Each structure stands twice: as structure tokens, then as C-alpha cells.
């Protein structure tokens, strides 16, 4: 009971930290906006949206409102959605494969999405179609991985990993070829920047499009989190407790892959979040997925929001967010492989 009470308290603290970071992020940027003004702008916009009229006198400039609502709000919301999704997917993959090195791109969703985006850029597609192409190819990659794993003899989980490595290699080769033939003055820089990951082009209209597939994928991860605990006992023990291990694994893998593909299609290649954050949460909350999964939701959103704040404020020129997550993730990966084996 003490451990459960500590976990609930830690979840509450994580939620409060995320809420504070969410509000503070609006004040950070080239055009400063006081925190109290941010709250007034958001509250007024909320009332105007649902009641048709505002409740507060406008004591702020139009430039402040544009900066808060049109520029920072969609970016902050997308950072929370992507961070939450990648972290939850990482926790699910690590639990299913019983491997602390597992990450959301293990089934090739990220590589497929990168190829789809690069192909769309090469063909001169619009920003929206680049996102759609990345999402579709991410799902296609996972579908091919599932098909190969089903047809191949041997252990299903091992086949999934091997097929994911093979498909990722193929899609990475395709992306490299597209970069080779792309226009070096226009298309190649756009492809390269997309592959480094960024939230700079996010619009309010992107939020509902991203939220729908992410919500569809995150809901099963949250609802099946207690069965993920049973999978760690082994298949025979889990079946004895009434868990259909095959269906549960498939549901978890498909859900985690869906949110990964959706995240990459809107934000570009942002690595390491799904590897680093679940481990940090495990240190605080323990290995019980009843608390680890919602903790990964909150901590992943806060982590990527913090990294995005640094990426757009550290230097005069914005740093692609994928570079910063790699600077955090690579040393953490070295720490994992150099320490003693850890059971999930």
C-alpha cells in the first residue's frame, strides 16, 4: 500500500509539473508575454469559443494574442501529444518484449514514415499531404512487418524484431536514394530538416488531426496496462490468470505503432523519447504498469515540452528538436548498456 500511495503521489506531482510547464511555455519566446496575460488570453479565447463572448477586458495587444494563440498554443499542444504518445509507446514495447532497449520504432514505423515524407516532398506535395504520406507509409511498414512475422517459422516476437530491422533497412535505403535524387537547392534541405524533427510548422488545424489517431492508440495502452503486468509473468502464468496473451500483445503492439506513426508524421523523426522517459518513470514509479503507463503519459509530455522550449529559445536560430533529444538519449543509452542487467 505504501508503494501505491507513493506512486499516486508521484503521478499527482508529475501532473502539476506538466501544468506549470504548460503555462510557462507560453511566456517563452522572442516576443515575451507575461504569464498572467497568457492566462487571460487563453481564458478569454475559451469563453469566446464556447459562449460566444469574452469575460475579461482586453488589456493585451493583438501581437500578444497572435503569439499565444496562433503560434505557441498549437506547438505546445503538439509537443504534449507527441511526447505523451512516444513515451507511452516506448513503455508498451519495453513491457511486451521484456527488453529495456525496446523503443517505439522497433517495428519500422518511423523508417516507413520518413520514407513517406521524403517521397511526398520529392513529388512536390503540400504540407498536409506530406503528413498523410508519412502516416500511411508508417502503417504500411508495420503491416508488412506483421505479415512477414506471421509467415515466417519460429518465435513470433523474434520474427517481429527481425522483420522490423529488415523493413527499417529497406525504407532507410529508399529515403537515402530520395535524398540523392532530390533537388539540392530546395527539396533536399526540406527533407533533411524534416528528418531532424521539428514542431515549428504546427497549426491549430493540425491538432484535431493528430489527436484522433493518438487517442485511438493511447486508449488501449491505458486500458490494458494491468494485463501488461501479467505478460511479464510469462505466457503460461498469464493464460492461467485468464489473459489471452496473443490478442493482448497484438493489441498493444498495434496501438503503440499507431501512436508512433501519428507522432512521426506530424513532428518528424524525434528519437529517444520512447527509450529515455519510460526508464525515468520506472525509477520513480516502479515497474507496475498501472502507474508506469499514466506516468509515461505525463512525463513524456513534460519532457518533450521542455526540450521544445529549449530548442526554440536557446539560440537565435531554432535547433531541430530531434538533435536535442539525441543529445539526451545517446548518453542514457550508453548508461543502459554499461550497467548491470535490469529486469522490467
Rounded to the nearest integer, the mean pLDDT of the chain is 89
Residue 344: predicted pLDDT:
44
Task: Please tell me the least confidently modeled range out of 1-10, 52-61, 255-264, 266-275.
Answer: 52-61
Q: Please check the confidence at residue 340 and state whether its pLDDT lies above 60.
A: no
Q: Please check the confidence at residue 172 and state whether its pLDDT lies above 90.
A: yes
Grade residue 342 by pLDDT with cuts at 50, 70 and 90: very low
Mean pLDDT across the stretch 155-182? 91
Grade residue 181 by pLDDT with cuts at 50, 70 and 90: very high
3-state SS class at 120 = helix
Grade residue 317 by pLDDT with cuts at 50, 70 and 90: confident
Mean pLDDT across the stretch 161-184? 94
- Domains annotated for the chain, with CATH where assigned, are 2-338 (1.10.3470.10)
**Under a CB-based contact definition with an 8 Å cutoff, are residues 63 and 31 in contact?**
yes
Q: Please check the confidence at residue 226 and state whether its pLDDT lies above 90.
A: no
Grade residue 4 by pLDDT with cuts at 50, 70 and 90: confident
Task: Please tell me the least confidently modeled range out of 48-57, 184-193, 251-260.
Answer: 48-57
Distance (Å, whole) CA 210 – CA 221:
17
Over the stretch 86-135, which tens digit does the pLDDT of each residue have? 999 999 999 998 877 788 888 889 999 999 999 999 999 998 999 999 99
Q: State the residue for C-alpha cell 502516416.
A: 135
The closest of 297, 306, 289 to 344, measured between CA atoms, is: 289
Over the stretch 200-211, which tens digit does the pLDDT of each residue have? 889 999 999 999
Task: Please tell me the least confidently modeled range out of 54-68, 69-83, 301-315.
Answer: 54-68
Q: Please check the confidence at residue 14 and state whether its pLDDT lies above 90.
A: yes
Distance (Å, whole) CA 283 – CA 292:
10
Q: Which alpha helices (DSSP H) does the chain contain, by range?
A: 2-27, 35-51, 62-65, 73-97, 109-122, 127-151, 156-181, 187-196, 206-223, 225-231, 235-240, 245-267, 273-285, 289-313, 321-338
The closest of 261, 334, 279, 245 to 82, measured between CA atoms, is: 261
- By CB neighbour count within 10 A (0-12 exposed, 13-18 middle, 19+ buried), where does 26 fall? buried
**Under a CB-based contact definition with an 8 Å cutoff, are residues 106 and 93 in contact?**
yes
Percent of the chain past pLDDT 70, that is, above it, reads: 96
Residues in the chain: 344
Q: What is the pTM of this model?
A: 0.91
Grade residue 146 by pLDDT with cuts at 50, 70 and 90: confident
Distance (Å, whole) CA 170 – CA 76:
34
Task: Please tell me the least confidently modeled range out of 28-37, 175-184, 315-324.
Answer: 28-37
Mean pLDDT across the stretch 175-201? 93
Residues 6+ apart with CB under 8 A from 179: 118, 188, 191, 192
**Under a CB-based contact definition with an 8 Å cutoff, are residues 142 and 81 in contact?**
no
Distance (Å, whole) CA 25 – CA 23:
5
Residue 88: predicted pLDDT:
96
Measured over the CA atoms of residue 251, residue 249, residue 88 and residue 323, the dihedral's sign is negative
Percent of the chain past pLDDT 90, that is, above it, reads: 56
Residue 160: predicted pLDDT:
86
Amino acid at each position: 500500500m505504501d508503494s501505491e500511495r507513493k506512486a499516486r503521489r508521484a503521478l499527482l506531482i508529475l501532473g502539476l509539473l506538466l501544468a506549470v510547464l504548460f503555462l510557462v511555455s507560453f511566456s517563452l519566446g522572442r516576443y515575451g508575454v507575461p504569464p498572467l496575460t497568457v492566462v487571460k488570453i487563453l481564458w478569454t479565447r475559451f469563453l469566446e469559443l464556447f459562449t460566444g463572448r469574452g469575460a475579461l477586458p482586453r488589456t493585451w495587444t493583438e501581437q500578444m494574442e497572435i503569439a499565444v494563440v496562433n503560434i505557441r498554443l498549437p506547438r505546445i499542444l503538439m509537443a504534449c501529444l507527441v511526447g505523451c504518445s512516444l513515451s507511452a509507446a516506448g513503455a508498451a514495447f519495453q513491457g511486451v518484449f521484456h527488453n529495456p532497449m525496446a523503443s517505439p520504432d522497433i517495428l519500422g514505423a518511423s523508417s516507413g514514415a520518413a520514407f513517406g515524407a521524403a517521397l511526398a516532398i520529392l513529388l512536390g506535395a503540400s504540407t498536409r499531404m506530406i503528413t498523410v504520406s508519412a502516416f500511411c507509409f508508417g502503417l504500411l511498414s508495420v503491416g508488412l512487418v506483421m505479415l512477414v512475422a506471421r509467415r515466417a517459422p519460429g518465435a513470433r516476437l523474434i520474427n517481429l524484431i527481425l522483420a522490423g530491422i529488415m523493413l527499417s533497412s529497406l525504407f532507410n535505403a529508399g529515403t537515402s536514394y530520395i535524398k540523392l535524387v532530390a533537388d539540392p537547392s530546395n527539396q533536399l534541405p526540406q527533407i533533411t530538416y524534416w528528418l531532424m524533427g521539428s514542431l515549428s510548422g504546427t497549426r491549430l488545424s493540425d491538432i484535431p488531426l493528430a489527436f484522433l489517431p493518438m487517442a485511438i492508440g493511447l486508449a488501449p495502452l491505458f486500458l490494458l496496462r494491468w494485463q501488461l503486468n501479467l505478460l511479464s509473468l510469462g505466457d503460461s502464468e498469464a493464460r492461467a490468470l485468464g489473459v489471452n496473451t496473443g490478442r493482448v500483445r497484438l493489441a498493444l503492439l498495434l496501438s503503440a505503432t499507431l501512436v508512433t506513426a501519428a507522432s512521426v508524421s506530424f513532428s518528424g523523426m524525434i528519437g529517444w523519447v520512447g527509450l529515455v522517459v519510460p526508464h525515468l518513470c520506472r525509477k520513480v514509479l516502479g515497474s507496475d504498469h498501472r502507474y508506469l503507463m499514466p506516468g509515461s503519459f505525463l512525463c513524456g509530455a513534460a519532457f518533450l515540452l521542455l526540450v521544445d522550449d529549449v530548442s526554440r529559445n536557446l539560440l537565435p536560430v531554432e535547433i531541430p528538436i530531434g538533435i536535442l533529444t539525441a543529445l539526451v538519449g545517446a548518453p542514457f543509452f550508453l548508461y543502459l548498456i554499461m550497467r548491470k542487467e535490469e529486469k522490467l
